[in-house]
Structure 1
Amino acid sequence: MKKIKIKENPKTSSCIGYIYYLVLRLWAARFLDDMVDQWTPLQKEIISGLTAGSITTLVVHPLDLLKVRLQLSATNAQKVHYGPSTVIQEIVRSSVSNRHRTLNVVNELYRGLTINLCGNAIAWGVYFGLYGVTKELIYKLVAGPEQSQLKGASNDHKMNSLIYLSAGAASGSMTAILTNPIWVIKTRIMSTSKGAEGSYTSIYNGVQRLLRTEGIRGLWKGLVPALFGVSQGALYFTVYDTLKQKRLRRKDENGQNSHLTTLETIEITSLGKMISVTMVYPFQLLKSNLQSFKANEQNFRLLPLIRLIVANDGFVGLYKGLSANLVRAIPSTCITFCVYENLKHRL
């Protein structure tokens, strides 16, 4: 019996494929809508924070690497005039000189991306989640249960700057303690090129070597300045939420949509970040230096470290890399909060 071969029409095939695509998309949209309806305000805060932190890290990671290496140069008297261009020249020189040189430079600029991505995603998710819960708890303690409403986010418009400051400090401290081991490994990976002698070859290799040579306490190096540095987040959220609520009240009085536009979010974020980063930047610099390879080799302690930096470059040395940090911090925070605000609004 002759086998009949059915010739498939490409147009018919593509049409059927498109129909399947539409059905799948509608099913997925309905499934996600059902899930979104069941999400609590806390879950929305965490999901928005995780997404925002991940996207931001992917975009600004090379700037973060420049910032870390500039901060670590503060303890080296021979690197007083060490700047971003010098760091880039070192990265280019450390890359193998062959036909893949450009790719190697890119790889070096994104060295430590995995742990930075995980760390920032976890840190932002934890921070936003804790911040949302903490400010509600503080508000209920201050105002009393009769003044508060059932849903977490609904009390924001009644809060003041002191509540935002307290919630930011509390949630920041808890986040710093929980995520400090990630930042120790991240700092050490990003402080050296991949081919440098003694550098960590992977996250697992870094954790293994650190525990073997420094013990479990090594994972919490730099925690003291990190906790002081929490004031940066607390100050930022105080400025951000205070200006945000003022802007929303003004829009509500004028009968406008009670949601920040992307431009308004960028304006408020930039101002808040510039103020908060500049005020507490020395704590970031001290934390990075206490978490470095050199800290273990020379047994750095907080007060002797401050004296060493001041002796090398004066009090200005405590602000080494500030300009690079602002260039990194302001756009990264704008991206984070634009994604966060828009995603939370849509969820």
Structure 2
Amino acid sequence: MSMSISTVPQPSRLNPAFVETAAGLSAGAAATLLLHPLDIIKTRLQVDSSSHPFINSSRTVLRDVWRNEGPTRLAALYRGLNVNLVGNSAGWALYFLLYDRAKRTIKSYRGYAPSQELTSIDYLTASTASGMLSAVLTNPIWVVKTRMLSTAATDEGAYPGLYQGVRSILQKEGVRGCFHGLSPTLIGVSHGSLYFLAYEKLNTWRRKRNVAQGKGTELSNRDTIINTSLSKLFAGTITYPHQVLRARMQAQTTPGVKYPGQPNIGLIALIKSVWRNEGAPGFYKGMFPNLLRVVPSACVTFLVYENVKWGLPQLFEAVPGP
């Protein structure tokens, strides 16, 4: 029997904000541990500014990393894992907390009944606001992560870890260096907005079907996997180019900085450069390994998130009603 995961038992001794944060933290950590090597492949392809065909690039990058980098092959495939764990765990925890708070605020502001569904505009507003705030707060982590995943540990100037990376950026590039790629990141918030809109709408549709079939309103793990996959494919395909632009800007350094990155140019100039030198396919470099990573990653993330959100309050005795 599938576990029901659609609701958190109420009332509970646990603060809802704590439940959301713990569920997001667990979800981000689980997905990162399982799929980090695909993140390395995706990042290497995104920052590659050559005009070479990339049909077999994923295999080529994997072979090069596997054979030539790191003290061991496993270490090479998991370079930057600590940074990715911090970024994804903190990012998802923060996002889910802010997203839940945003939905509650919208419901209160618009005077909705507790059981009333939010509209598409409501979901877009909540996901966009929470996405933009969490993106700004976590951007320094992603700059370090991109630079670590796009270089070998033996490259000159390569960062050994998150702390060393942030310190080096602050010393050599200033605070501004921690926010390379923020503009395409903020544009990319549309990905999360489209994803959560599709996810929430699919969940609502599935609940209605379950009710019509006499199964109640609760969703199963299978429902979550299907809805997550469809939503991620939809949002990921539409908004993918921003990831290429973000990765290249995050891999950039200011002039005179000794780091194996790319020249520092603005967003518009970068778009023109990609279009001129690589054509439309340049904006989709790494999309295949990205989809191989993000679809199962999203499934793991939301399975863990929904189950922790459902199960955590079960560990504590519910507060008796009146």
Q: Tell whether the structures are fold-level matches, with TM greater than 0.5.
A: yes
327 and 106 in structure 1: CA distance in 2 versus 1, 3 angstrom threshold: same
Deviations 1:286-323 (A, max 9, x none): 01100004676522211111111112221111011111
Asked whether the 8 Å contact 1:289–1:295 carries over to 2, the reply is: no
298 and 306 in structure 1: CA distance in 2 versus 1, 3 angstrom threshold: same
Aligned to 1:330: 295
* Structure 1 residue 255 corresponds to structure 2 residue 214: yes
Aligned to 1:13: none
Which has the higher mean CA deviation after the structures are superposed, 218-227 or 247-256?
A: 247-256
Structure with the higher fraction of residues in helix conformation:
1
71 and 119 in structure 1: CA distance in 2 versus 1, 3 angstrom threshold: same
Aligned mates of 2:168, 2:144 — CA distance in 1 = 10
Aligned mates of 1:81, 1:273 — CA distance in 2 = 22
Matches within 5 A, 1:78-117: 83-95=57-69, 104-117=72-85
Aligned mates of 1:295, 1:59 — CA distance in 2 = 34
Asked whether the 8 Å contact 1:80–1:313 carries over to 2, the reply is: no
Asked whether the 8 Å contact 2:19–2:309 carries over to 1, the reply is: yes
Deviations 1:115-142 (A, max 9, x none): 1001100000010011111012112222
Matches within 5 A, 1:47-62: 47-62=22-37
Give the alignment partner of residue 194 of structure 1, picking from 153, 156, 169: 153
* Structure 1 residue 137 corresponds to structure 2 residue 105: yes
Name the structure, 1 or 2, with higher relative contact order (CA <8 Å, separation 6+): 2
* Structure 1 residue 283 corresponds to structure 2 residue 242: yes
Aligned to 1:148: 113
Aligned mates of 1:71, 1:173 — CA distance in 2 = 22
* Structure 1 residue 300 corresponds to structure 2 residue 300: no
* Structure 1 residue 43 corresponds to structure 2 residue 10: no
Please state how far the C-alpha of 1:197 moved relative to its aligned partner.
1.7
Matches within 5 A, 1:204-243: 204-243=163-202
241 and 135 in structure 1: CA distance in 2 versus 1, 3 angstrom threshold: same
94 and 292 in structure 1: CA distance in 2 versus 1, 3 angstrom threshold: same
250 and 299 in structure 1: CA distance in 2 versus 1, 3 angstrom threshold: same
SS at match of 1:158: coil
Aligned mates of 2:51, 2:36 — CA distance in 1 = 27
Aligned mates of 2:12, 2:96 — CA distance in 1 = 20
Unaligned runs of 5+ in 2: 1-10, 256-261, 314-322
SS at match of 1:199: coil
Give the alignment partner of residue 90 of structure 2, picking from 122, 129, 132: 122
Aligned to 2:132: 173
Which has the higher mean CA deviation after the structures are superposed, 77-86 or 209-218?
A: 77-86
- Corresponding letter in the other structure for 1:138: I
Asked whether the 8 Å contact 1:160–1:242 carries over to 2, the reply is: no
Larger radius of gyration: 1
- Corresponding letter in the other structure for 1:343: V
Aligned to 2:3: none
Aligned mates of 1:160, 1:228 — CA distance in 2 = 22
Aligned to 2:44: 69
- Corresponding letter in the other structure for 2:91: A
Aligned mates of 2:52, 2:41 — CA distance in 1 = 18
Deviations 1:228-261 (A, max 9, x none): 0000000000000011012113323443143211
- Taking only aligned residues, the RMSD between alpha carbons, in angstroms, comes to 1.9
Aligned mates of 1:45, 1:169 — CA distance in 2 = 18
SS at match of 2:294: helix
Aligned mates of 2:27, 2:197 — CA distance in 1 = 20
Please state how far the C-alpha of 1:78 moved relative to its aligned partner.
5.6
Please state how far the C-alpha of 1:105 moved relative to its aligned partner.
1.2
State the identity %.
40
Aligned to 1:15: none
Please state how far the C-alpha of 1:81 moved relative to its aligned partner.
6.3
SS at match of 1:37: coil
Aligned mates of 2:63, 2:152 — CA distance in 1 = 12
TM-score, normalised to structure 1's length?
0.81
Please state how far the C-alpha of 1:160 moved relative to its aligned partner.
2.0
Aligned mates of 1:166, 1:293 — CA distance in 2 = 31
Asked whether the 8 Å contact 2:54–2:285 carries over to 1, the reply is: no
Aligned mates of 2:301, 2:254 — CA distance in 1 = 31
Aligned mates of 2:73, 2:298 — CA distance in 1 = 26
